[in-house]
Amino acid sequence: MSGAGKSTACKVFKAEGFEIIDCDLICRSIVEKGEPCLCEIAKAFGTAVLNKDGSLDRAEMGRIIFSDDGKRRLLNGIMYPYVSYIIINTIAAMDNGFALLDAPTLFESGIDSICDSIVSIVADKEILLSRIESRDLISREQAENRLASQHDTGFFSERSNYTIENNGSSEEFFSEIMKTIKKIKEGK
């Protein structure tokens, strides 16, 4: 969930020896100027989603997909095969150990099928909205649109082996992350 604290949790997992695979970075790389995925996006959405230099106009793309579920599904359908391919190849190239996918759309992409355990980071709606507004410097309405485009807490909790709530202090959040890491490493 946007604003729940995934980035913070990833830093802790990394410090504890997990290899982090950042799916947002993968998504950014596959829509760079000249990439086949960006060409498919421009074909599906038109050149209005491109800047004059041929790069993706992220603001325009965001405006389109956060207000239209069908267009968001279309974009995801174009991007997911590229993202999944890179994730699978990255994991295959890793040495033994633990990998953590920082994947906001893990379930939608179907990549959850390759995961041994799933950890979701969640928080109460008002906390999420406040964090999104602050972090992205957007209006309450824009934050609500982004949050509305995502699944609710129950969706994630039902599909996860571990759910970490981030509604309290930083210390409480850190403690919950560490408990989860210990359980994963012990295979519990």
Helix%, strand%, coil% for the chain, nearest 5: 60, 10, 30
What pLDDT does residue 109 have?
Answer: 86
What pLDDT does residue 113 have?
Answer: 92
Q: Which amino acid is at 1?
A: M
Alpha-carbon Rg for the chain in angstroms:
17
What pLDDT does residue 39 have?
Answer: 97
d(CA 28, CA 71): 18
DSSP-assigned states of every residue in 127-153: HHHHHHHHHHT--HHHHHHHHHTS--H
Summarize pLDDT for 23-39 with one digit per residue, the tens: 989 999 999 999 999 99
What pLDDT does residue 51 have?
Answer: 97
d(CA 174, CA 8): 9
CA angle (140, 41, 5) in 5-degree steps: 40
CB-CB contact of 27 with 83 (8 Å): yes
* Residue ranges of the chain whose pLDDT lies below 50: none
